[in-house]
């Protein structure tokens, strides 16, 4: 059985486990979207840092080639 939490329209308490449950599905969707966006940004940032390092290596190699020629 689910019992309303006083003062919180989106929260209920499960009488068996005593857990508080958020029933606001839209808030869950928004939270998951925000988390997925954050993960995507972190992934893109990591990829960009790898590319920057690779360009630095290429630049150093080109400078070595230019100085020998």
Average pLDDT in the chain: 95
Residue 34, CB-side half-sphere exposure with 13 Å CA sphere? 6
Residue 3 CB contacts under 8 Å (≥ 6 apart), including other chains: 12, 13, 15
Say yes or no to pLDDT of 44 above 80. yes
Name the residue ranges covered by the structural domains of the chain: 2-68
CA dihedral 20, 25, 28, 32 (to 10 degrees): 150
pTM score of the predicted model: 0.58
Check residue 69 and give its pLDDT.
72
Query: Average pLDDT for residues 6-23, to the nearest whole number?
Result: 94
User: Measured between alpha carbons, how far is 26 from 35 in angstroms, rounded to an integer?
Assistant: 14
């Amino acid at each position: 059985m689910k019992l309303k939490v006083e003062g919180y329209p989106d929260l209920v308490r499960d009488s068996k486990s005593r857990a508080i449950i958020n029933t606001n599905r839209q808030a869950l969707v928004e939270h998951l979207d925000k988390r997925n966006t954050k993960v995507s940004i972190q992934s893109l940032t990591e990829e960009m840092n790898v590319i920057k390092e690779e360009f630095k290596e290429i630049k150093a190699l080109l400078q070595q080639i230019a100085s020998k020629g």
